[in-house]
Structure 1
Protein backbone atom coordinates (compact mmCIF):
# COMPACT_ATOMS: atom_id res chain seq x y z
CA UNK A 1 0.00 0.00 0.00
CA UNK A 2 1.34 3.41 -0.92
CA UNK A 3 1.44 6.26 1.57
CA UNK A 4 0.37 9.76 0.61
CA UNK A 5 1.22 12.75 2.80
CA UNK A 6 -1.05 15.70 2.04
CA UNK A 7 0.02 19.03 3.54
CA UNK A 8 -2.78 21.59 3.70
CA UNK A 9 -3.16 25.10 5.08
CA UNK A 10 -6.61 24.15 6.36
CA UNK A 11 -8.34 20.85 7.23
CA UNK A 12 -9.27 18.74 4.22
CA UNK A 13 -12.81 19.15 2.97
CA UNK A 14 -12.82 15.46 2.10
CA UNK A 15 -11.46 12.70 4.31
CA UNK A 16 -11.96 10.04 1.64
CA UNK A 17 -9.05 7.65 1.22
CA UNK A 18 -7.86 7.20 -2.34
CA UNK A 19 -7.98 3.61 -3.60
CA UNK A 20 -4.89 1.74 -2.47
CA UNK A 21 -3.43 4.70 -0.58
CA UNK A 22 -3.18 5.61 3.08
CA UNK A 23 -3.70 9.39 3.11
CA UNK A 24 -2.45 11.46 6.04
CA UNK A 25 -3.33 15.19 5.98
CA UNK A 26 -0.71 17.45 7.58
CA UNK A 27 -1.26 21.12 8.42
CA UNK A 28 1.36 23.37 6.80
CA UNK A 29 1.84 27.12 6.48
CA UNK A 30 4.59 27.59 3.89
CA UNK A 31 5.29 31.12 5.16
CA UNK A 32 6.26 29.85 8.62
CA UNK A 33 9.56 28.19 9.49
CA UNK A 34 7.95 26.69 12.59
CA UNK A 35 5.02 25.25 10.65
CA UNK A 36 7.32 23.71 8.03
CA UNK A 37 9.49 22.18 10.75
CA UNK A 38 6.40 20.73 12.45
CA UNK A 39 5.15 19.32 9.14
CA UNK A 40 8.52 17.70 8.48
CA UNK A 41 8.49 16.18 11.95
CA UNK A 42 5.04 14.73 11.32
CA UNK A 43 5.98 13.33 7.93
CA UNK A 44 9.05 11.67 9.44
CA UNK A 45 6.77 9.88 11.88
CA UNK A 46 5.15 8.14 8.90
CA UNK A 47 8.03 7.61 6.45
CA UNK A 48 11.80 7.77 6.14
CA UNK A 49 11.75 9.06 2.54
CA UNK A 50 9.79 11.30 0.21
CA UNK A 51 9.32 10.40 -3.44
CA UNK A 52 7.37 13.46 -4.56
CA UNK A 53 7.07 17.02 -3.31
CA UNK A 54 4.49 19.27 -4.98
CA UNK A 55 4.87 22.95 -4.12
CA UNK A 56 1.31 24.09 -4.83
CA UNK A 57 0.68 26.78 -2.22
CA UNK A 58 0.13 30.18 -3.79
CA UNK A 59 -1.08 33.71 -3.14
CA UNK A 60 -2.68 35.75 -5.96
CA UNK A 61 -2.23 39.17 -4.40
CA UNK A 62 -4.69 41.95 -5.16
CA UNK A 63 -3.82 42.71 -8.79
CA UNK A 64 -2.24 46.03 -7.83
CA UNK A 65 -0.71 47.92 -10.81
CA UNK A 66 3.05 48.58 -10.72
CA UNK A 67 2.67 52.31 -10.05
CA UNK A 68 0.49 51.66 -7.00
CA UNK A 69 2.00 48.51 -5.53
CA UNK A 70 3.53 48.54 -2.06
CA UNK A 71 6.39 46.51 -0.65
CA UNK A 72 3.90 44.93 1.76
CA UNK A 73 1.87 43.62 -1.19
CA UNK A 74 4.97 42.27 -2.93
CA UNK A 75 6.30 40.69 0.25
CA UNK A 76 3.05 38.88 1.08
CA UNK A 77 2.85 37.31 -2.39
CA UNK A 78 6.55 36.44 -2.53
CA UNK A 79 6.39 34.92 0.95
CA UNK A 80 3.98 32.27 -0.33
CA UNK A 81 5.00 31.95 -3.99
CA UNK A 82 8.78 32.29 -3.79
CA UNK A 83 10.10 31.97 -0.25
CA UNK A 84 7.57 29.23 0.56
CA UNK A 85 8.75 26.75 -2.08
CA UNK A 86 12.37 27.38 -1.08
CA UNK A 87 11.54 26.96 2.61
CA UNK A 88 9.62 23.72 2.06
CA UNK A 89 11.97 22.23 -0.54
CA UNK A 90 15.08 22.76 1.58
CA UNK A 91 13.38 21.35 4.66
CA UNK A 92 12.35 18.16 2.85
CA UNK A 93 15.55 17.64 0.85
CA UNK A 94 16.96 15.06 3.29
CA UNK A 95 13.86 12.88 2.78
CA UNK A 96 13.87 13.43 -0.98
CA UNK A 97 17.50 12.36 -1.20
CA UNK A 98 16.58 8.98 0.33
CA UNK A 99 14.13 8.24 -2.49
CA UNK A 100 15.09 6.10 -5.47
CA UNK A 101 13.34 8.55 -7.83
CA UNK A 102 12.77 11.91 -6.13
CA UNK A 103 10.67 14.49 -7.96
CA UNK A 104 9.76 18.09 -7.09
CA UNK A 105 6.91 19.80 -8.93
CA UNK A 106 6.66 23.58 -8.75
CA UNK A 107 3.14 24.76 -9.60
CA UNK A 108 3.78 27.95 -11.53
CA UNK A 109 1.62 29.99 -13.90
CA UNK A 110 1.55 31.14 -17.50
CA UNK A 111 1.76 34.61 -15.95
CA UNK A 112 5.36 33.75 -15.07
CA UNK A 113 6.33 33.31 -18.72
CA UNK A 114 7.94 36.28 -20.47
CA UNK A 115 6.67 34.91 -23.78
CA UNK A 116 3.08 34.79 -22.55
CA UNK A 117 3.17 38.17 -20.80
CA UNK A 118 4.48 39.87 -23.95
CA UNK A 119 1.95 38.19 -26.26
CA UNK A 120 -0.95 40.66 -26.80
CA UNK A 121 -3.27 37.77 -27.65
CA UNK A 122 -2.89 36.35 -24.16
CA UNK A 123 -5.41 37.76 -21.63
CA UNK A 124 -2.79 37.86 -18.88
CA UNK A 125 -0.74 40.37 -20.92
CA UNK A 126 -3.44 42.93 -20.19
CA UNK A 127 -3.46 42.30 -16.45
CA UNK A 128 -1.14 45.07 -15.30
CA UNK A 129 -0.28 43.73 -11.88
CA UNK A 130 3.21 43.21 -10.52
CA UNK A 131 3.34 40.87 -7.53
CA UNK A 132 1.87 37.60 -8.83
CA UNK A 133 3.42 37.48 -12.30
CA UNK A 134 6.89 38.44 -11.10
CA UNK A 135 6.69 35.90 -8.26
CA UNK A 136 5.90 33.11 -10.72
CA UNK A 137 8.73 34.21 -13.00
CA UNK A 138 11.00 33.98 -9.97
CA UNK A 139 9.64 30.52 -9.18
CA UNK A 140 10.49 29.38 -12.71
CA UNK A 141 14.09 30.51 -12.26
CA UNK A 142 14.25 28.83 -8.86
CA UNK A 143 13.09 25.58 -10.45
CA UNK A 144 15.87 25.66 -13.04
CA UNK A 145 18.55 26.53 -10.51
CA UNK A 146 17.54 23.67 -8.22
CA UNK A 147 17.52 21.29 -11.19
CA UNK A 148 21.02 22.35 -12.19
CA UNK A 149 22.39 22.10 -8.67
CA UNK A 150 20.67 18.81 -7.76
CA UNK A 151 20.72 16.61 -10.90
CA UNK A 152 19.64 13.50 -8.96
CA UNK A 153 16.24 15.09 -8.29
CA UNK A 154 13.75 15.90 -11.06
CA UNK A 155 12.71 19.56 -10.64
CA UNK A 156 10.03 20.82 -13.03
CA UNK A 157 7.57 23.70 -13.21
CA UNK A 158 4.06 23.51 -14.62
CA UNK A 159 0.95 25.60 -14.99
CA UNK A 160 -2.57 24.18 -14.51
CA UNK A 161 -3.83 25.56 -17.81
CA UNK A 162 -3.51 25.48 -21.57
CA UNK A 163 -1.38 28.36 -22.81
CA UNK A 164 -2.12 27.70 -26.48
CA UNK A 165 -5.86 27.88 -25.79
CA UNK A 166 -5.63 30.92 -23.50
CA UNK A 167 -7.36 29.11 -20.67
CA UNK A 168 -6.75 27.86 -17.15
CA UNK A 169 -8.25 25.62 -14.50
CA UNK A 170 -11.16 26.72 -12.33
CA UNK A 171 -9.91 27.10 -8.74
CA UNK A 172 -10.85 28.86 -5.52
CA UNK A 173 -8.05 31.35 -6.14
CA UNK A 174 -9.48 32.58 -9.47
CA UNK A 175 -13.11 32.45 -8.43
CA UNK A 176 -13.69 29.36 -10.61
CA UNK A 177 -13.51 31.46 -13.77
CA UNK A 178 -11.35 28.92 -15.59
CA UNK A 179 -12.73 26.58 -18.24
CA UNK A 180 -10.64 23.55 -17.30
CA UNK A 181 -11.74 21.10 -14.63
CA UNK A 182 -9.63 20.29 -11.60
CA UNK A 183 -8.67 16.97 -13.20
CA UNK A 184 -7.61 18.69 -16.43
CA UNK A 185 -5.71 21.31 -14.46
CA UNK A 186 -3.77 18.69 -12.54
CA UNK A 187 -2.89 16.51 -15.55
CA UNK A 188 0.57 18.02 -15.93
CA UNK A 189 1.19 17.96 -12.17
CA UNK A 190 0.43 14.24 -11.99
CA UNK A 191 2.60 13.57 -15.05
CA UNK A 192 5.58 15.34 -13.50
CA UNK A 193 4.97 13.72 -10.11
CA UNK A 194 5.19 10.27 -11.68
CA UNK A 195 8.25 10.76 -13.88
CA UNK A 196 10.73 7.94 -14.31
CA UNK A 197 14.15 8.36 -12.65
CA UNK A 198 15.62 9.40 -16.01
CA UNK A 199 12.74 11.74 -16.86
CA UNK A 200 13.19 15.38 -17.84
CA UNK A 201 14.22 18.07 -15.40
CA UNK A 202 14.31 21.89 -15.53
CA UNK A 203 11.23 22.06 -17.76
CA UNK A 204 8.18 24.34 -17.88
CA UNK A 205 5.03 22.73 -19.25
CA UNK A 206 1.25 22.70 -19.22
CA UNK A 207 -1.06 19.77 -19.98
CA UNK A 208 -0.45 20.22 -23.72
CA UNK A 209 3.35 20.29 -23.62
CA UNK A 210 6.32 22.66 -23.23
CA UNK A 211 5.84 26.38 -22.55
CA UNK A 212 8.30 29.04 -23.62
CA UNK A 213 9.98 30.62 -20.62
Structure 2
Protein backbone atom coordinates (compact mmCIF):
# COMPACT_ATOMS: atom_id res chain seq x y z
CA UNK A 1 0.00 0.00 0.00
CA UNK A 2 1.38 3.39 -0.98
CA UNK A 3 -1.56 5.52 0.06
CA UNK A 4 -1.02 5.28 3.81
CA UNK A 5 -0.56 8.50 5.73
CA UNK A 6 1.01 9.25 9.09
CA UNK A 7 1.51 12.28 11.31
CA UNK A 8 4.40 12.47 13.75
CA UNK A 9 4.39 15.40 16.16
CA UNK A 10 7.70 16.95 17.12
CA UNK A 11 9.26 15.30 14.09
CA UNK A 12 11.89 17.87 13.14
CA UNK A 13 14.50 16.22 15.40
CA UNK A 14 15.34 13.33 17.70
CA UNK A 15 13.23 10.20 17.92
CA UNK A 16 10.34 11.88 16.12
CA UNK A 17 12.47 12.57 13.07
CA UNK A 18 13.64 8.96 12.99
CA UNK A 19 10.07 7.71 13.29
CA UNK A 20 9.03 9.91 10.38
CA UNK A 21 12.00 8.74 8.31
CA UNK A 22 11.30 5.07 8.96
CA UNK A 23 7.61 5.45 8.15
CA UNK A 24 8.53 7.25 4.92
CA UNK A 25 10.80 4.32 4.08
CA UNK A 26 7.77 2.05 4.58
CA UNK A 27 5.95 3.97 1.85
CA UNK A 28 3.88 6.30 4.02
CA UNK A 29 3.07 9.87 3.19
CA UNK A 30 4.41 11.39 6.40
CA UNK A 31 3.35 14.71 7.84
CA UNK A 32 6.32 16.06 9.73
CA UNK A 33 4.81 17.99 12.61
CA UNK A 34 6.98 20.94 13.59
CA UNK A 35 6.19 24.28 15.19
CA UNK A 36 9.29 25.81 13.58
CA UNK A 37 8.93 26.17 9.81
CA UNK A 38 12.64 26.29 9.05
CA UNK A 39 13.58 23.26 11.14
CA UNK A 40 10.59 21.38 9.87
CA UNK A 41 11.43 22.04 6.23
CA UNK A 42 15.02 20.93 6.74
CA UNK A 43 13.77 17.72 8.33
CA UNK A 44 11.44 17.09 5.40
CA UNK A 45 14.32 17.51 2.94
CA UNK A 46 16.53 15.17 4.96
CA UNK A 47 13.82 12.52 5.40
CA UNK A 48 12.95 12.46 1.72
CA UNK A 49 10.32 10.14 0.28
CA UNK A 50 6.84 11.57 0.56
CA UNK A 51 7.52 13.64 3.67
CA UNK A 52 5.52 16.84 4.02
CA UNK A 53 5.80 19.71 6.46
CA UNK A 54 2.83 20.28 8.74
CA UNK A 55 3.28 23.36 10.88
CA UNK A 56 1.97 22.30 14.26
CA UNK A 57 2.48 23.70 17.73
CA UNK A 58 0.88 21.08 19.95
CA UNK A 59 0.33 23.61 22.75
CA UNK A 60 -1.57 26.09 20.56
CA UNK A 61 -5.24 25.42 19.84
CA UNK A 62 -5.32 27.57 16.70
CA UNK A 63 -2.26 25.82 15.30
CA UNK A 64 -3.80 22.41 15.97
CA UNK A 65 -7.07 23.41 14.32
CA UNK A 66 -5.32 24.76 11.22
CA UNK A 67 -3.14 21.66 10.93
CA UNK A 68 -6.09 19.28 11.29
CA UNK A 69 -7.94 21.14 8.53
CA UNK A 70 -5.10 20.25 6.13
CA UNK A 71 -5.29 16.49 6.72
CA UNK A 72 -8.33 14.71 5.35
CA UNK A 73 -7.18 11.13 5.88
CA UNK A 74 -4.80 9.66 8.44
CA UNK A 75 -3.81 6.07 9.17
CA UNK A 76 -1.26 6.66 11.93
CA UNK A 77 -0.87 9.34 14.58
CA UNK A 78 2.34 9.31 16.61
CA UNK A 79 2.15 11.64 19.60
CA UNK A 80 5.87 12.15 19.99
CA UNK A 81 6.29 15.80 21.04
CA UNK A 82 7.38 16.04 24.66
CA UNK A 83 9.41 18.14 27.07
CA UNK A 84 11.26 17.82 30.35
CA UNK A 85 11.48 21.07 32.28
CA UNK A 86 13.54 20.05 35.29
CA UNK A 87 14.97 17.12 37.21
CA UNK A 88 13.77 18.28 40.62
CA UNK A 89 11.77 16.10 43.03
CA UNK A 90 8.26 17.33 43.88
CA UNK A 91 9.22 18.74 47.27
CA UNK A 92 11.59 21.15 45.53
CA UNK A 93 9.59 21.84 42.39
CA UNK A 94 7.59 24.87 41.43
CA UNK A 95 4.05 24.01 40.38
CA UNK A 96 4.70 25.88 37.14
CA UNK A 97 7.19 23.17 36.18
CA UNK A 98 4.35 20.67 36.34
CA UNK A 99 1.97 22.92 34.39
CA UNK A 100 4.43 23.44 31.55
CA UNK A 101 5.31 19.76 31.37
CA UNK A 102 1.72 18.54 31.45
CA UNK A 103 0.72 21.14 28.84
CA UNK A 104 2.90 19.39 26.25
CA UNK A 105 3.09 15.82 27.49
CA UNK A 106 -0.55 15.31 28.48
CA UNK A 107 -3.00 18.06 27.55
CA UNK A 108 -1.57 18.49 24.06
CA UNK A 109 -1.94 14.77 23.39
CA UNK A 110 -5.65 15.01 24.17
CA UNK A 111 -6.16 18.06 21.98
CA UNK A 112 -4.11 16.78 19.05
CA UNK A 113 -5.63 13.30 19.15
CA UNK A 114 -9.18 14.64 19.28
CA UNK A 115 -8.50 17.11 16.48
CA UNK A 116 -7.30 14.34 14.16
CA UNK A 117 -9.86 11.68 15.10
CA UNK A 118 -12.06 12.52 12.13
CA UNK A 119 -9.15 11.89 9.74
CA UNK A 120 -8.19 8.70 11.58
CA UNK A 121 -11.75 7.41 11.39
CA UNK A 122 -11.45 7.45 7.60
CA UNK A 123 -8.72 4.82 7.84
CA UNK A 124 -9.58 1.11 7.72
CA UNK A 125 -6.78 0.43 10.20
CA UNK A 126 -6.28 3.49 12.45
CA UNK A 127 -3.29 3.43 14.79
CA UNK A 128 -2.25 5.81 17.58
CA UNK A 129 1.18 5.53 19.17
CA UNK A 130 1.94 7.60 22.27
CA UNK A 131 5.64 8.06 23.00
CA UNK A 132 5.90 7.56 26.71
CA UNK A 133 8.90 6.63 28.85
CA UNK A 134 10.04 3.80 31.03
CA UNK A 135 10.38 6.42 33.77
CA UNK A 136 6.58 6.71 33.66
CA UNK A 137 6.22 3.13 34.85
CA UNK A 138 5.16 3.22 38.49
CA UNK A 139 6.30 -0.38 38.84
CA UNK A 140 9.80 0.48 37.65
CA UNK A 141 9.82 3.59 39.83
CA UNK A 142 9.10 1.60 42.99
CA UNK A 143 11.03 -1.61 42.32
CA UNK A 144 14.62 -2.28 41.31
CA UNK A 145 15.17 -1.69 37.62
CA UNK A 146 18.45 -1.66 35.73
CA UNK A 147 17.65 1.63 33.98
CA UNK A 148 16.06 3.79 36.66
CA UNK A 149 16.86 4.47 40.30
CA UNK A 150 13.78 3.81 42.46
CA UNK A 151 12.57 6.09 45.20
CA UNK A 152 14.56 9.26 44.53
CA UNK A 153 11.62 11.20 43.10
CA UNK A 154 13.76 13.16 40.63
CA UNK A 155 12.21 14.54 37.42
CA UNK A 156 8.81 14.20 39.07
CA UNK A 157 7.02 16.47 36.59
CA UNK A 158 8.25 14.54 33.55
CA UNK A 159 7.85 11.08 35.04
CA UNK A 160 4.35 11.72 36.38
CA UNK A 161 3.30 13.26 33.05
CA UNK A 162 4.31 10.05 31.29
CA UNK A 163 2.38 8.00 33.85
CA UNK A 164 -0.64 10.17 33.03
CA UNK A 165 -0.02 9.63 29.32
CA UNK A 166 -0.03 5.89 29.93
CA UNK A 167 -3.43 6.19 31.58
CA UNK A 168 -4.73 8.21 28.63
CA UNK A 169 -3.49 5.48 26.30
CA UNK A 170 -5.61 2.92 28.12
CA UNK A 171 -8.69 5.14 28.10
CA UNK A 172 -8.42 6.00 24.40
CA UNK A 173 -7.89 2.32 23.59
CA UNK A 174 -11.03 1.40 25.50
CA UNK A 175 -13.08 4.19 23.94
CA UNK A 176 -12.02 3.51 20.34
CA UNK A 177 -11.72 -0.28 20.38
CA UNK A 178 -15.03 -0.94 18.64
CA UNK A 179 -13.94 1.30 15.76
CA UNK A 180 -10.87 -0.80 15.08
CA UNK A 181 -8.30 1.56 16.58
CA UNK A 182 -5.07 0.26 18.08
CA UNK A 183 -3.79 2.68 20.72
CA UNK A 184 -0.54 1.86 22.49
CA UNK A 185 2.25 3.51 24.45
CA UNK A 186 5.95 3.09 23.78
CA UNK A 187 8.98 3.37 26.04
CA UNK A 188 11.70 4.11 23.45
CA UNK A 189 14.58 3.63 25.86
CA UNK A 190 17.23 6.10 26.93
CA UNK A 191 18.31 7.78 23.69
CA UNK A 192 20.68 10.53 22.69
CA UNK A 193 18.21 13.38 22.22
CA UNK A 194 17.81 16.92 23.55
CA UNK A 195 16.09 15.41 26.60
CA UNK A 196 18.92 12.98 27.37
CA UNK A 197 22.05 14.05 25.46
CA UNK A 198 24.30 12.01 27.76
CA UNK A 199 22.78 8.81 26.40
CA UNK A 200 25.14 8.94 23.42
CA UNK A 201 27.90 7.50 25.57
CA UNK A 202 25.69 4.51 26.36
CA UNK A 203 24.95 3.86 22.71
CA UNK A 204 21.43 5.25 22.88
CA UNK A 205 20.71 5.56 19.17
CA UNK A 206 17.31 7.25 18.69
CA UNK A 207 16.80 5.25 15.48
CA UNK A 208 16.54 2.09 17.59
CA UNK A 209 13.84 3.63 19.76
CA UNK A 210 11.97 4.76 16.65
CA UNK A 211 11.73 1.16 15.42
CA UNK A 212 9.39 0.34 18.28
CA UNK A 213 7.02 3.14 17.29
CA UNK A 214 6.98 1.98 13.67
CA UNK A 215 6.24 -1.56 14.80
CA UNK A 216 3.17 -0.32 16.70
CA UNK A 217 2.13 1.84 13.75
CA UNK A 218 2.11 -1.26 11.54
CA UNK A 219 0.22 -3.53 13.94
CA UNK A 220 -2.13 -6.03 12.28
CA UNK A 221 -5.82 -5.98 13.17
CA UNK A 222 -5.31 -8.82 15.63
CA UNK A 223 -2.57 -6.86 17.41
CA UNK A 224 -2.79 -5.51 20.95
CA UNK A 225 -4.33 -2.25 22.08
CA UNK A 226 -4.18 -0.37 25.35
CA UNK A 227 -0.72 -1.75 26.10
CA UNK A 228 2.72 -0.40 27.02
CA UNK A 229 5.79 -1.71 25.21
CA UNK A 230 9.51 -1.21 25.23
CA UNK A 231 11.23 -0.35 21.95
CA UNK A 232 12.10 -4.01 21.41
CA UNK A 233 8.50 -5.20 21.77
CA UNK A 234 8.79 -6.33 25.40
CA UNK A 235 5.76 -5.37 27.55
CA UNK A 236 6.49 -2.69 30.14
CA UNK A 237 4.69 -2.85 33.51
CA UNK A 238 2.42 0.03 34.32
**TM-score, with length taken from structure 1:** 0.88
> Deviations 1:145-181 (Å, cap 9, x if unpaired)?
00001102100000111xxxxxx12112212425321
| More displaced 10-residue stretch of structure 1: 79-88 or 169-178 | 169-178
What is aligned with 2:199?
A: 177
Deviation at 1:127, TM superposition (A): 5.1
Distance change in 2, residues 1:37/1:176 (3 Å): farther
Report the number of matched residues.
201
Which of the residues 45, 59, 80 maps onto 1:56? Answer: 80
1:118 equivalent in alignment to 2:148: no
8 Å CA contact 1:171, 1:182 repeated in 2: yes
After TM superposition, the structure 1 = structure 2 runs for residues 141-156 of structure 1, keeping only pairs within 5 Å, are 141-151=167-177, 152-156=180-184
Which of the residues 51, 66, 69 maps onto 1:41? Answer: 69
> Deviations 1:17-58 (Å, cap 9, x if unpaired)?
53xx41111111111111101111222xxxx31000000010
What is aligned with 1:165?
A: none
8 Å CA contact 1:102, 1:197 repeated in 2: no
The structure with the greater share of residues assigned to helix is 2
**Which 5+ residue runs of structure 1 have no aligned equivalent?**
162-167
What is aligned with 2:155?
A: 129
Which of the residues 209, 212, 215 maps onto 1:188? Answer: 212
Deviation at 1:198, TM superposition (A): 2.6
After TM superposition, the structure 1 = structure 2 runs for residues 23-34 of structure 1, keeping only pairs within 5 Å, are 23-34=51-62
Deviation at 1:9, TM superposition (A): 2.6
What is aligned with 1:139?
A: 165
What is aligned with 1:212?
A: 237
**Which 5+ residue runs of structure 2 have no aligned equivalent?**
3-27
8 Å CA contact 2:137, 2:163 repeated in 1: yes
Q: SS of the counterpart of 1:123?
A: coil
8 Å CA contact 1:104, 1:156 repeated in 2: yes
Deviation at 1:207, TM superposition (A): 2.2
Q: SS of the counterpart of 1:210?
A: coil
8 Å CA contact 2:68, 2:115 repeated in 1: yes
Taking only aligned residues, the RMSD between alpha carbons, in angstroms, comes to 1.6
Q: Find the aligned partners of 2:204 and 2:155 in 1 and give their Cα distance.
A: 23
> Deviations 1:50-79 (Å, cap 9, x if unpaired)?
000000010111112211212211100000
